[in-house]
Chain A
Amino acid sequence: MTSPEEQTPPVMEIPEDRHYMRFSRLNRLLHVLMIVSFISLALTGMSLKFSYTTWAAVMSRFFGGFESAGYVHRFAAAVMIGVFITHIVDLFRRKKQDGVSWRGFIFGKNSMMFNKKDLQDLIASVKWFIGKGERPPYSRWTYWEKFDYFAVFWGMMVIGSTGLTLWFPELFTNVFPGWMINVASIIHSDEALLAVGFIFTVHFFNTHLRPEKFPMDTVIFTGRMSVEELAEDKPAEFAELVESGNLEKNLVEAYPPIVIRAIRFFGWTAVALGLGMVGLIIYGMVFAYR
C-alpha cells in the first residue's frame, strides 16, 4: 500500500507538530459527555436488566442501591438528552454559518447523510476485504462513521422515548394503555443491549482500536490528526483539501505528549469499562441465563 504516500508530496513540507483539525471543540466535548453518560447509563441499566446475576447485585450496590442507581441513570439520561439537543442546535448554527439551504446542508459533501459514494465505498470495501480490490479512497466521513452517527439518532429516539415512558409511567398511561409500559420496558432494554453491544465492540474496533490505529485513535478527544494519517486514512478528503488549498487553514499545534497520555488514559478507561461490560453481558446471557 504505497499509493497514498506517492500522492502526498506536499506533506513533506508540513512540520510534524502541525496537525490537521478534524473535530471542533464542541464536538469533542459532546463526545466526552456522551461517553460518560452512556457508560453510566449502561452500567446502571444493565445491573437491572441482569438482576439475576451476582455481578448485577454488586453493581447495584456499587451505585448505592437500586434507587441511587436509578438517580444516576436518569441524571445521565438528562445529560445525554442535553448532548443530543446541543448537537441539534449546533447543526442549526452551522447551517446558518454556512449560509446554505437545508437541502444543501443535509446533502452536502461534508454532511453525515448517506450518499451514493458511501454505497460505492461499501462495495469497494467488501471487495478490498476479500482481496478483490484496493482500499477505497474514503472521504471525510466514511460509511461506518455515518452509520454510527445515525445509530445514535435512532437510539436517542427509541431508548429516549421508552425511557421517558418508564420514567413517567403515570403520565403516559393517561393516554396509553398499561401494557404499553411492558412493551416500553422490552424495547428500552433490548435496544440498550444493542447499543451497548454495538458501541463496545463494532464501534470500538472500527473507530478507535483498529490495528492500524493502535494503541488508540484519539482524534475525537484531541480533534487533531497528523496530516500523514489524514492522507492515509481519508485520501479523498486529503486530496480535496490539498486541491482547494484549505489544508493550511485547518492546521493547528499538536498537543504535548502529557495531554495525549491523559487522553489515552481516559480513552482506555472507557474502553476497559465497555469491554468489561460486554464480558459481563455475555456471562449474563450465556452462562447465567434463566
Chain B
Amino acid sequence: MSPFMIPRDPMPHAPHPRALPRLACAALLLFALVSVRAAAQENSDCLMCHAEKSMTMKRGTRTVSMFVDEKKFKLSIHGSIPCAGCHADLAGKEFPHEKPKQVDCGTCHGAEEALHVKSLHGKAILRGDALAPRCKDCHGNHDILAAKNPKSPVSPMQIPYLCGKCHREGSPVMQQRAIHQDHILENFSESIHGEGLLRKGLSVSANCASCHTAHSILPHTDPLSSIARKNIAKTCTQCHTMIETVHRKVIEGKLWEREQHVLPACVDCHQPHKVRKVFYNQGMADSDCQRCHAKADIKAKDGHSLTVNPADLQHSRHAKVACSQCHSEVNVSKIRPCETIVNPVDCTQCHAEVGNLYKKSTHGLLFAKNDPNGPTCKECHGGHGVLGKHQPNSPIFPTNIPKLCARCHREGEKAAVKYKGAQHDIVNHYAESIHGKGLVESGLTVTATCTSCHTAHSVLPQKDPASSVNPRNVPATCGACHHGIQEQFEKSIHSTLVSKTDKKLPACNDCHSAHQIRRADEQGFKLTIMTQCGRCHEEIAETYFDTYHGKVTQLGYTKTAKCYDCHGAHDILPAENPRSHLNRLNVVKTCAKCHPGSNRRFAGYLTHATHHDPDKYPYLFYTFWGMTSLLIITFLAGGLHTLLWLPRALKIRREQKAREKARHDALHPEKKA
C-alpha cells in the first residue's frame, strides 16, 4: 500500500472500482474532443469572457464572480480538459449562455460519488442540508489539484485543516449538527497521529480520512462504517499491520478481527482523536460507570448486587484497567453504555493463554457444561478486587492456595464428594506432608502447593494423558523443583523413557505418595518404602526379610541395608548395567558403604537368600533341612524320654511324700491323735 494513498474505500475486496468510470471518462473525453472540433468550441472561447476578473453576475441579491483563473486552471489536474467536459450542458452553446447546471463529478468519478451519496455527507445533501459538503467543498473546482500534490486541500497534511473547516470547535456544523465528539481538531493535533502529521511532517501518519475514509464517511453505528466496532480493527491495522504480534502478548494474531464481540476494540483503550503513545487511564469512562455502580443498593433484576467498591478496584491488579476493557460491548452513544452488554466478562480476552488451558481443564469443561460446580476465573481469583499471585493477601498467593482449593476439595465438600479415586482427605494429608509443613509451618513460598503439581489452569484427572499428574508426566512435574532427581530417574529402569513394558512402572508418587509425602530421611518413610518396593517386587521383598538386613528392618530399625541402600533410589538399574550399584564393578563399593572391610567374596553374600528354594539355593535348602531334622530328632528323642519318665517321677514323688509323713508322724505321735 502506497504510504501516500488516502484510503477511500472501506471495502478493498470489491472489484477495482475505477475501471469502469475511467473507461467512461475516456469515452467522454474523446467525444468532447470530437464535438469541440465540430463546434470549434475551445477553452479559449470560454475564457474570452471568464478570464475577465470583472465578470460578475447577479444571482438574486448576490453578485457572483464568474471569473476563472486561467493560470490556475491550466495547472490544475483538469487543465487539459475542455470546459464542456465538466460543464457538459454548455457544449456547443453560443454565448451568452444560460446558467449552467451543477457539474456532475460522478460522470468521471462514479465510484467516489456512489460512496459519497451513501455517506453522512451525501445523505445530508439529499436532505437539502445547506452545510453538507459537496465535491468542490473539499477538492476545489477549477483549481482542483491531485491529492498527491501537497498544495491540494486533500493532501494528507491538509486534510485536518480541510475537515476542520466544518468540524472545528464553534463552527456551524459543530454547533448545529449532532456530532458526538468534541474538540476533535485539538485532540487530534495533540494525538500521536496529529503530532506525526502536523509537527513531524510525517505524511504517512493517520489523518481524518485514514480512519473515516474520504468519501464513505458513516456513523460508527452503521455496520458498513470504517469506524463501526467490528471494522475498527481492520481500519487501524491498515497501518498497524503487525500490531497483533507486538501488542500485549495475550492478543493472538487476528483475534481482534475474529472476536470483536469479546475483545475490546482499539478505540476502547485508545480513544479516538486522543490516541497517545501511552495507555490511557480512562478516568472518565470509569467515573461514568461509578455514577451508578458506586451506589450500595444497586441491584440486578435477579436481585444480585451490582455495587462495585472503587477501593477494591483501586488496589487490585486491574487498577489501571478501565471498566469497559473487561465489560466490553459497552456502547458510548447510549446514556447507559452498559445496556448493550449481553455476555459476562470474558477474562480470556486478555488472558488468552491461560484461558485456553482452562477451557481444556476439568474445571473449564464443567463450566462449559453449565455445571454449577465448575469454578470460573472469578471463583479463584476474585472479581473487582483481583490480586496478583505475589501479593500475600491474594487467594492465589502460595500460602493461600491450599485453603483456596480446599473450599471444594476438602473431604465432604462438593468436589471431594464427586471424586471417585483413591486420594482421600487430601487437604489434611497435604498439611501433614513435607510440602504442607514447608508451606504452613516454615512459610516457605517455594514449596509445592496444589497448583505446583496439578497446575493452576490445566487441572486434569490423573488418567488424562495431558494431565500433569498422569504417571507419564509425574517425573517432569516433580522435576520442576527436584530436577536433579528427575535426571537420575529418567535414566533408571523405572522410567518409561528407558523401560518399554506393559507393566505398570512406578512414578515418584508410587513410592513417595501424592499428598502424604514425607521427608525421605525420616524413620517412618524409610520403613514404609520397603513395602512400597514390595508391592511390585513381591517375592524378592519377602526373601529380603529372611536375611539379617530384612530382619532388623522388620524390627523397626533403619540402620541395616534397605532396598535403596543397595539398589539406589532414583537411579535403579539392572545389575548388568555398568552404572548399576550392583554391577560387578560397583558392588564391593556399594557394600563398603556400611561394611568398610567389604571384599569381592563378601559381596557374594546372598542378600535375598531363602532356604525354601532347592534349585536356586541348594546349600541353604539342605543346610536348613539338615538342621531341622536334627532339631526334630533331638526333640522327639528328648521329649519321648521325658514323657515316659514323667509317670515314674510322679510315683517317686508320692512315695517321698508318704515317707515324709510317716517320719513326721513317728517324731510327733501326739499330733496324729
Residues on A with beta carbons closer than 8 Å to the beta carbon of B604? 173, 177-179
Whether A178 contacts B653 by the Cβ 8 Å rule is no
> In B589-624, which residues have CB < 8 Å from any A CB?
595-599, 601-606, 609, 611, 617, 619-620, 623-624
Is B393 interfacial (CB 8 A cutoff)? no
Whether A48 contacts B555 by the Cβ 8 Å rule is yes
Is B648 interfacial (CB 8 A cutoff)? yes
Whether A51 contacts B555 by the Cβ 8 Å rule is yes
Return the chain B residue nearest A212 by Cβ: B652
Return the chain A residue nearest B609 by Cβ: A182
Residues on A with beta carbons closer than 8 Å to the beta carbon of B655? 1
Whether A205 contacts B601 by the Cβ 8 Å rule is no
Residues on A with beta carbons closer than 8 Å to the beta carbon of B597? 170-171
Return the chain A residue nearest B610 by Cβ: A182
Give Cα distance in the complex from A170 to B604, angstroms: 11
A65 to chain B, nearest CB (A): 6
> In B244-301, which residues have CB < 8 Å from any A CB?
none
Is A187 interfacial (CB 8 A cutoff)? yes
Give Cα distance in the complex from A126 to B595, angstroms: 54
What 0/1 readout, one digit per residue, does chain B (355-367) give for beta carbons within 8 Å of chain A? 0000000000000
A225 to chain B, nearest CB (A): 14
Is A128 interfacial (CB 8 A cutoff)? yes
Chain B: interface residue total (CB-CB under 8 A): 53
Residues on B with beta carbons closer than 8 Å to the beta carbon of A211? 646, 649-650, 652-653
Chain A: interface residue total (CB-CB under 8 A): 51
Whether B555 contacts A57 by the Cβ 8 Å rule is yes
> Quick one: which of A56, A129, A185, A205 contacts B548, CB cutoff 8 A?
A185
| Majority-rule SS of A interface residues | helix
Give Cα distance in the complex from A194 to B638, angstroms: 11
Residues on B with beta carbons closer than 8 Å to the beta carbon of A166? 548
A132 to chain B, nearest CB (A): 12
Whether B644 contacts A126 by the Cβ 8 Å rule is yes
Whether B624 contacts A186 by the Cβ 8 Å rule is yes
Residues on B with beta carbons closer than 8 Å to the beta carbon of A170? 595-599, 602
A47 to chain B, nearest CB (A): 7
Residues on A with beta carbons closer than 8 Å to the beta carbon of B646? 205, 211
What 0/1 readout, one digit per residue, does chain A (205-235) give for beta carbons within 8 Å of chain B? 1100011101000000000000000000000
Is A42 interfacial (CB 8 A cutoff)? no
Max chain A Cβ within 10 angstroms of own Cβ: one of B550, B601, B604: B601
Is B556 interfacial (CB 8 A cutoff)? yes
> In B543-598, which residues have CB < 8 Å from any A CB?
545, 547-548, 550-552, 554-557, 559-560, 595-598
A38 to chain B, nearest CB (A): 17
What 0/1 readout, one digit per residue, does chain B (208-221) give for beta carbons within 8 Å of chain A? 00000000000000
Whether B595 contacts A198 by the Cβ 8 Å rule is no
Is A135 interfacial (CB 8 A cutoff)? yes
Whether A129 contacts B644 by the Cβ 8 Å rule is yes
Whether B635 contacts A67 by the Cβ 8 Å rule is no
> Quick one: which of A169, A197, A201, A210 contacts B602, CB cutoff 8 A?
A169
| Given A185-B548, A211-B652, A212-B649; A179-B598 close (CB under 8 Å) | no
Residues on B with beta carbons closer than 8 Å to the beta carbon of A258? none
Residues on A with beta carbons closer than 8 Å to the beta carbon of B651? 1
Residues on B with beta carbons closer than 8 Å to the beta carbon of A212? 649, 652-653, 656
Give Cα distance in the complex from A6 to B548, angstroms: 60
Give Cα distance in the complex from A102 to B297, angstroms: 119
> In B50-66, which residues have CB < 8 Å from any A CB?
none
Whether B649 contacts A183 by the Cβ 8 Å rule is no
| Given A48-B552, A56-B555, A202-B639; A182-B649 close (CB under 8 Å) | no
> Quick one: which of B596, B627, B635 contacts A191, CB cutoff 8 A?
B627
| Given A66-B552, A170-B595; A178-B642 close (CB under 8 Å) | no
Is B641 interfacial (CB 8 A cutoff)? yes
Is A130 interfacial (CB 8 A cutoff)? yes
Residues on A with beta carbons closer than 8 Å to the beta carbon of B627? 186-187, 190-191, 194
Is A251 interfacial (CB 8 A cutoff)? no
Give Cα distance in the complex from A43 to B656, angstroms: 37
> Quick one: which of A47, A48, A130, A183 contacts B619, CB cutoff 8 A?
A183
Whether A52 contacts B601 by the Cβ 8 Å rule is no
Is B444 interfacial (CB 8 A cutoff)? no
Whether A178 contacts B602 by the Cβ 8 Å rule is yes
Whether B634 contacts A190 by the Cβ 8 Å rule is no
Residues on B with beta carbons closer than 8 Å to the beta carbon of A149? none
Return the chain A residue nearest B598 by Cβ: A170
Whether B605 contacts A178 by the Cβ 8 Å rule is yes
Whether B551 contacts A182 by the Cβ 8 Å rule is no
Return the chain A residue nearest B620 by Cβ: A182
Return the chain A residue nearest B633 by Cβ: A194
Whether A177 contacts B601 by the Cβ 8 Å rule is yes
Max chain B Cβ within 10 angstroms of own Cβ: one of A52, A187, A205, A211: A211
Return the chain A residue nearest B650 by Cβ: A211
> Quick one: which of B556, B628, B656 contacts A190, CB cutoff 8 A?
B628
Residues on A with beta carbons closer than 8 Å to the beta carbon of B642? 201-202, 205-206
A203 to chain B, nearest CB (A): 9
Residues on B with beta carbons closer than 8 Å to the beta carbon of A52? 545, 554
Is A174 interfacial (CB 8 A cutoff)? yes
Max chain A Cβ within 10 angstroms of own Cβ: one of B551, B606, B609, B619: B551
Whether A179 contacts B555 by the Cβ 8 Å rule is no
> In A45-93, which residues have CB < 8 Å from any B CB?
47-49, 51-52, 56-57, 60-61, 65-67
Whether B559 contacts A66 by the Cβ 8 Å rule is yes
Give Cα distance in the complex from A212 to B611, angstroms: 43
B523 to chain A, nearest CB (A): 12
Give Cα distance in the complex from A174 to B627, angstroms: 26
13 A-B contact pairs sorted by A residue (CB < 8 Å): A48-B548, A48-B552, A51-B552, A135-B652, A166-B548, A169-B595, A170-B595, A177-B601, A178-B605, A182-B606, A194-B627, A202-B639, A212-B656
Query: A1-B652, A202-B635 provided; 11 other pairs, C-beta below 8 A?
Result: A52-B554, A57-B555, A60-B557, A144-B641, A178-B605, A182-B619, A185-B548, A190-B630, A201-B642, A210-B649, A211-B653
Q: Which 9 A-B pairs rank lowest in CB-CB distance, beginning with the nearest?
A: A178-B604, A170-B597, A190-B627, A129-B644, A202-B638, A173-B602, A51-B551, A211-B653, A173-B601
Interface residues of B (CB under 8 A from A): 545, 547-548, 550-552, 554-557, 559-560, 595-599, 601-606, 609, 611, 617, 619-620, 623-624, 627-628, 630-631, 634-635, 638-639, 641-642, 644-653, 655-656, 659
Interface residues of A (CB under 8 A from B): 1, 5, 47-49, 51-52, 56-57, 60-61, 65-67, 125-126, 128-130, 135, 144, 166, 169-171, 173-174, 176-179, 181-183, 185-187, 190-191, 193-194, 197-198, 201-202, 205-206, 210-212, 214
